[in-house]
Structure 1
Amino acid sequence: MSQFPSPGAQAMKAAVVTGPGRLRIDEVPLPQPRRHQVRIRLEGCGVCASNLVPWAGPEWMQFPTEPGGLGHEGWGVIDAVGDDVRDLRIGDRVASLGHHAYAMYDVADEHAVFPLPGAFDGLAFPGEPLGCAMNIFKRSEIVAGQTVAIVGIGFLGSLLVQLCARAGAHVIAISRRRSSLEWARQAGASEIIPMEDHWHIIEQVKQLTDSHLCDRVIEAVGKQWPLDLAAELTRERGRLVIAGYHQDGPRTVNMQLWNWRGLDVVNAHERDLTIYVQGIRDAVTAIRSGALDPWPLLTHRFPLERLDEALNTARDRPDGFLKALVVYP
């Protein structure tokens, strides 16, 4: 058998995380689609920041993972369909919300995939984070003329800068990495502020807004300090949007501040599959209209055998990094 499966193959390569910071590549049987499911011959999978805590091996994490586990940003071509699948066919190129995409093939419910237009052929399309960005943008209720601070400029933050700036908002981008701030500037941010000193950032934002602070603040880091900072930057009756993935323990919040300012606080993480898929549909529309341009933000690519390096790169975020992809030939 060749290194990677060819059409008609019965086995595939899949990553198995065996412990904190450790993985192996196994050869396993191809998954078979059940009723209302499709199998996707994957072209690639995005590396999500939510993988990093499991990769570090917290107490609640169980090893080894299932083959392909943790990967949930896959895209590729349907090569098999189960019974009673109506609207999808073999050969359709799709974005998938399957959960075993660190492998050559994955199986997903037919309602958890979205067909991609032919204009995107040959282009990487990690649909889950693109749909996530669209859903966060929608929940933020951005309109032209607002001042919007985005705290944390990774892949998600950069997408949100694009969406907010192209909607006519005045965007303040805040990040600890200089290269991320330059990305934000290119994406349309009106102001960039290094995330260095808490009170200095607040004073800078006050100066930029005549002390009014921001109509909307989107926290896109997932750590305690950025959450505290985001609340401080939100004006009275403004909207604080939680987009960072908080999974490393409980958080404390300044409820006195939230109450005193009358903040609207939105947890912008969706759990409804239908809304996730609608977000991907909205991302396709936004790309076609020019409101979103994700491809320059896909900065690093790795083969499956170097998934550990991809995860470590996503963790360490070297200069110029925004998004890692694992790609399959």
Structure 2
Amino acid sequence: MQAAVLAGPGRFAFVQVPRPRPGPGQLLLRLEGCGVCASSLPVWEGRPWFDYPLPPGAPGHEAWGRIEAVGPDDVSGLRPGQRVAALSYAGHAEFDIAEAAAVLPLPVALDGMPFPGEPLACAANILARSDIRAGQTVAIVGIGFLGAVLTRLASQAGARVIALSRRAYARQAALRFGAEEALDVADVYAATAAVADLTGGRLCERVIEAAGLQSTLDLASALAAEGGRLVIAGYHQDGLRQVNLQQWNWRGLDVVNAHERQPARYLDGMRRAIGWVQEGRLDPTEFFTHRLPMSRLDEAMALTRDRPDGFLKALVVPEGMA
């Protein structure tokens, strides 16, 4: 099979490697595509602690496709030909292995729709951990793919959503997805004052930080109302963070780290996302702005890093499906 191999910082090579074989309790998936996640940027850009090359297909972890073969153990309810979303970890390839317990069949009604289940599950789980209710004011700090999906979901829950982003395009997109206001974060103090003005000084009952930066964590903390909930959805992976604990204490905030690590939790979120799509509550294709063949994976990573106008999320597909 063809697979992308991250040979060094900023450089994917495309090689022929043996097709993997599923072991007990595993499935071989013929992939239709894989999302490109911003959490993969550090290893693509290069950091001193990474070793190269990575295994074929890594770090792709947002794959979907069809079951090609099953391992020697019983995998009740799963069979070759079924279309599935998966938690797998070498999705930048034509085939990948997934544990049978880490895939969900996709309804026939979704045939033809790209479905990277892992990031949609993230959004569903963050929404659940946020405990958003009708009538609340919700600030979402950072409008990339995740922030945009959460804007849609929070507004559907009956919340008043204030979106905050440095990108004009992202602010415009947030308004399309249901935000009532969209503010620039170039001046943190001005943004904080604007939210205070919009809320009559109360600030926001729920704040979701979705960018993974010190600056967005600081802003999100400043926007949380007394007795509110600060939800950390951004992936903070590039070093230590400082927090204003006096501010958190004084306001009596609930602080939630909305990152899941248990596959069962991911599958629960994926089930909810599949249900929303079937019900017409969520159309994930609105958020997939770029589709590229696997040979252009470096370009997809650069788009994810640079976030030009028009960009929310890139999907990468095998060459024959581009």
Fold match by TM threshold 0.5: yes
Match for residue 3 of structure 2?
14
Q: What is the CA-CA distance between 1:289 and the residue it aligns to? A: 2.5
Note the residue ranges of structure 2 that are not aligned, 5 or more in a row.
Answer: none
State whether structure 2 residue 240 is matched by structure 1 residue 250. Answer: yes
Match for residue 80 of structure 1?
69
Match for residue 30 of structure 2?
41
Match for residue 268 of structure 1?
258
User: 2: distance between equivalents of 1:180 and 1:119?
Assistant: 30
Alignment RMSD, CA only?
Answer: 0.7
Q: What is the CA-CA distance between 1:288 and the residue it aligns to? A: 2.2
User: 2: distance between equivalents of 1:97 and 1:310?
Assistant: 21
Q: What is the CA-CA distance between 1:26 and the residue it aligns to? A: 0.8
Quick check: 1:149–1:216 contact (8 Å CA) kept in 2? Answer: yes
TM-score normalised by structure 2 residue count: 0.98
* Aligned partner letter, 1:14: A
After superposition, give the CA deviation of every residue in 1:173-202 in whole Å (9 maximum; x if it has no partner): 001111111111010001110111010001
Match for residue 150 of structure 1?
140
Further displaced range: 81-90 or 39-48? 81-90
After superposition, give the CA deviation of every residue in 1:269-310 in whole Å (9 maximum; x if it has no partner): 100100101110000111222332211110001111110111
Match for residue 117 of structure 1?
107
State whether structure 2 residue 157 is matched by structure 1 residue 187. Answer: no
Show the 5 A alignment for 1:205-220. Answer: 205-220=195-210
Quick check: 2:59–2:89 contact (8 Å CA) kept in 1? Answer: yes
Show the 5 A alignment for 1:261-300. Answer: 261-300=251-290
* Aligned partner letter, 2:2: K
Match for residue 229 of structure 2?
239
State whether structure 2 residue 160 is matched by structure 1 residue 170. Answer: yes
User: 2: distance between equivalents of 1:56 and 1:260?
Assistant: 39
User: 2: distance between equivalents of 1:290 and 1:257?
Assistant: 40
Quick check: 1:162–1:291 contact (8 Å CA) kept in 2? Answer: no
1:325 to 291, 315, 318: 315
User: 2: distance between equivalents of 1:216 and 1:292?
Assistant: 21
User: 2: distance between equivalents of 1:145 and 1:210?
Assistant: 15
Show the 5 A alignment for 1:296-315. Answer: 296-315=286-305
State the identity as a percent: 57
Match for residue 93 of structure 1?
83
Quick check: 2:123–2:149 contact (8 Å CA) kept in 1? Answer: yes
SS in 1 for 2:143: coil
User: 2: distance between equivalents of 1:53 and 1:236?
Assistant: 35
SS in 2 for 1:320: coil
State whether structure 2 residue 194 is matched by structure 1 residue 199. Answer: no
Q: What is the CA-CA distance between 1:22 and the residue it aligns to? A: 1.1
User: 1: distance between equivalents of 2:164 and 2:65?
Assistant: 34
User: 2: distance between equivalents of 1:40 and 1:122?
Assistant: 16
Q: What is the CA-CA distance between 1:85 and the residue it aligns to? A: 1.5
Quick check: 2:109–2:278 contact (8 Å CA) kept in 1? Answer: no
After superposition, give the CA deviation of every residue in 1:131-182 in whole Å (9 maximum; x if it has no partner): 0000000000001000000000010001000000001000000011111111
User: 2: distance between equivalents of 1:45 and 1:37?
Assistant: 19
2:54 to 46, 49, 65: 65
User: 2: distance between equivalents of 1:108 and 1:133?
Assistant: 21
SS in 1 for 2:27: strand
Q: How many residues align?
A: 318
